[in-house]
Structure 1
């Protein structure tokens, strides 16, 4: 009897000859690798497009990128005395973000894009809350029986819970009829 450590278990070895047919692979290893590389490139391209869309949508990012591109154009040209700038110079640092303006990080870095996007969403939510409170104050100043005093729909569409479907109005009615 041989001693096996408690954390190791003996495994039965596979039979030497099997009556089952061997499973053939549909793709060769090189095809699998090529598919994997292609899928990964596609995933990265989608992420890149998402970040580019955020950069175009968020005003602070749009402005920072515009400024960065202007600084790059100025740096690529001459430095005022007819000579090109020296290569080993230190990169300027943006006071607002603390990032280098030499293209290595700048306003397009994932950290900056996500942070500025969160700030922008918080601003939008705050603006929305301000507008809702202004609407309530305006409605309160109306006469008690004024038609605009009460909203026609108690809960706006964007506040309602989504229960699936394509969003077509008739589809919800059909589901209710089917349940009856």
Structure 2
């Protein structure tokens, strides 16, 4: 099945209709731009709040805590460090017992 390249006239017509569609689209007013920006910022903040709420569900000791994001972040980092140390300890025990741990599981 062979296709022929588009003719120049067809390409120009397609480009003209594409430009025409762009020209027809109205520009946002300053009020609409501001409303879009506010909505976008609210959505971003809501996503952050939901992320912190999720951390309070996952990290022991954060249940029922206030909404101090700095406390949530610090306790999350402390918890992750403790989990990594526990993993290293368990890998060491496995290897001391003669077991083998894959490289991907060491990290």
Q: Tell me the TM-score normalised to structure 2 length.
A: 0.68
Match of 1:137 in 2: 96
Q: Does structure 1 retain, via aligned residues, the 8 Å contact 2:91–2:106?
A: no
Partner of residue 76, structure 2: 117
Q: 1:54–1:117: 8 Å Cα contact kept in structure 2?
A: yes
Query: Are 1:156 and 2:90 an aligned pair?
Result: no
Runs of 4+ more than 2 Å apart: none
Unmatched tracts of structure 2, length 5 or more: 1-25
Aligned residues: 83
Deviation at 1:108?
2.4
In 2, Cα distance between the equivalents of 1:136 and 1:158?
A: 11
Is the helix fraction higher in 1 or 2?
A: 2
Question: In structure 1, how many angstroms separate the alpha carbons of the residues matched to 2:88 and 2:58?
Answer: 21
> How far off its partner does 1:59 sit?
0.6
Bigger Rg, which one = 1
Q: What is the 5 A alignment of 1:72-151?
A: 107-139=66-98, 149-150=99-100
**Where do 5+ consecutive residues of structure 1 fail to align?**
1-24, 66-105, 140-148, 160-180
What residue number does 1:86 align with?
none
**Mapped pair 1:29 → 2:30:** yes
Distance (whole Å) between structure 1 residues aligned to residue 94 and residue 106 of structure 2: 17
Deviation at 1:155, TM superposition (A): 2.2
